[in-house]
Structure 1
Amino acid sequence: MKELTEQELHNLAMNIVGKELEAEGFEFMGINSKLRKNPQFVCLKDKELHFIVVRNIPYPENPSEYDTDLMATVKEHALKFEARTYYAGVGISNAANRNHPVLLNQEYMVHYEGLIEI
């Protein structure tokens, strides 16, 4: 069984958030899936620009808690574009045992509480 890499977990978190954004009517202007390049999504909705930072948060950490310094930096950048800033933390864990790594083609659990505006 192959363990998912940090990049693969990040991409999975981005897919989860991306589907929600799409369902809520966000239009994607830019997508960046590289680790530690922010924001991951630049979207337009109701003629307003949105910067969204996505993070995969390993169990047992709380996906709703974010790096305040990082988010302050992203918000400062977003304000130059008159954009709103959001954090999307996604907890992904092994469904059989949350303390084990997430494996390729195995079930996993998602703990995602939606966008948090900064």
Structure 2
Amino acid sequence: MSKELSKQELHNLAMNIVGKDLEDQGYEFLGVNSKLKKDPQFVALKNKKLHFVIVRHITYPEDPKKYDAVFMETIKEHALKFKARTFFAGVGIANSKDYELPVLADEYVINYDGLQEI
């Protein structure tokens, strides 16, 4: 029997998916923070430009593209002090057998469309 994933485990899963995507796009990681509620999750360089990436795991039925605009503006203001670009990476995670059930360690599907610039 597979166990239900905790909030931290869901967050780590989302971090792995976004981290792999950033790596594949040629980003160089300067800082990675996988603790819940510690932002940004990734501070990375690409083309000599600094990027702040906020990662959130979003459980069904919430929309992984929807983010807290007020919070993201705060992050963007902080990023601008460092001349950094700000991105949101929402990773939708659901139980693969029944979207209404909790997400299990080996039974999940991912809905991730990449970075959204703020």
- TM-score, normalised to structure 1, is 0.97
C-alpha distance in structure 2 between counterparts of 1:86 and 1:12, whole Å:
18
In 1, the alpha carbon distance for the partners of 2:104 and 2:63 equals 21
Q: Which residue of 1 aligns with 2:82?
A: 81
Question: 1:114 aligned to 2:91?
Answer: no
Secondary structure, aligned partner of 1:93:
strand
| Cα offset, 1:40, TM superposition | 0.2
Q: How much has 1:102 moved relative to structure 2? A: 1.0
The C-alpha deviation readout for 1:37-91, integer Å capped at 9, x for no partner, is 1100000000000000000001000000000011001001000000000000000
Q: CA deviation at 1:113?
A: 1.0
Instruction: Work out the CA distance in 2 between the residues paired with 1:43 and 1:80.
Output: 15
- Which residue identity is paired with 2:43? V
Query: d(CA) in 1 for partners of 2:85 and 2:30?
Result: 14
Match of 1:45 in 2: 46
Q: Detail structure 1 runs of 4+ shifted over 2 Å in the superposition.
A: none
Partner of 1:28: 29
Q: Which stretch shifts more, 44-53 or 93-102?
A: 93-102
Inter-partner Cα distance in structure 2 for 1:117 and 1:78: 12
Structure 1 residue runs without a partner (length 5+)? none
Identity of aligned residues (%): 63
2:8, 2:32 → 1: CA distance?
15
Question: Following the alignment from structure 2 to structure 1, what is the Cα–Cα distance between the partners of residues 72 and 35?
Answer: 17
How many residues were matched structurally? 117
Unmatched 5+ stretches in structure 2: none
* 1-structure distance, mates of 2:27, 2:50: 10
TM-score, structure 2 length as denominator? 0.97
